[in-house]
Amino acid sequence: MKIGFIGLGNMGGPMAANLVAAGHSVTGFDLAAPMPEGVVRAASAAEAAREAEVVITMLPNGQILRAVAAEIIPAMSAGAVLCDCSTADVENTRAVAAEAEAAGLMALDAPVSGGTGGASAGTLTFMVGGAEAAYSKVLPLFDIMGRKAVHCGDSGAGQAAKTCNNMILGATMIVTCEAFALAERLGLAADKLYDVASTSSGNSWTMSAYTPVPGVGAQSPADNDYTPGFAAELMLKDLRLALEAARSTDTDTAMGTLAATLYARFVEEEDGRGRDFSAMLPRLRAKGRD
């Protein structure tokens, strides 16, 4: 398949490399990131999109998505699929889908879960919104870049799923870190809490698969001085998207709101920027009650 790929940073680069390794022809564009081996460099986003059967975007936010879409939609061939894998707000996502469909294209929103490790290993989960025909066309590519794709519904449903999922993740990571910090002050060894909680009612993905304690449980960024697999500032971005969605739908999300407040403090007032979102644990170890 002939693929255009726009946004080849920490996530997009490995995803594009996996497509090349599977035998697809990939033309890429990024303002700063290097081209993965085998990806043909384009001089512009429009050039990367021209004649592609599928154009994949992996961009920082919805505003940049809108700007890139305005450039590439006129260059794309009728019937092609614009598949956005960015994490963006539902409003901008649906606006881009409408623009694409008006130009005779198909559109998907397909944000991912799994972080940079999942992008490299090809084990991402794709949460997909858009028409069934577009999903069926891109599914073989999802199968290369990830281990699971879920068709969540119409345009915007993928972003809605990502927003809700990451609100759960952010709040769960905080309480997991709080439990380990409390255990330490109670004199309970971290490995003993892990052995109990990971096999009982306290278990969660943050406990068993992304353990925030160095040397305990699953191998995770905690074992690499909290070098990001998923940066705290990206978690803050996702929690703010959840807050925006909650306001627009008049939904009470007290725990999600508190999680956003705590990550905002960690990233913007403390030393959280550039660290993994699980570095909330050393933060909690170093402080007392507010």
Torsion sign over Cα 65, 229, 12, 10: positive
Sign, CA torsion 232/117/227/223:
positive
Residues with Cβ within 8 Å of residue 219, at least 6 apart in sequence: none
Helices (H), 204-269: 205-208, 232-249, 254-268
Compute the distance between CA of residue 208 and CA of residue 196 in angstroms, rounded to an integer: 11
Handedness of CA 62, 156, 173, 289 (dihedral sign): positive
CA distance 216 to 203: 14
Sequence-separated (6 or more) residues with CB below 8 Å from residue 126: 85, 110, 111, 112, 142, 145, 146, 148, 149, 150, 158
Among 2, 148, 162, 287, which one carries the catalytic annotation?
Answer: 162
Structure tokens at 40: 């043909």
2 classed as catalytic: no
Active site amino acids: 162
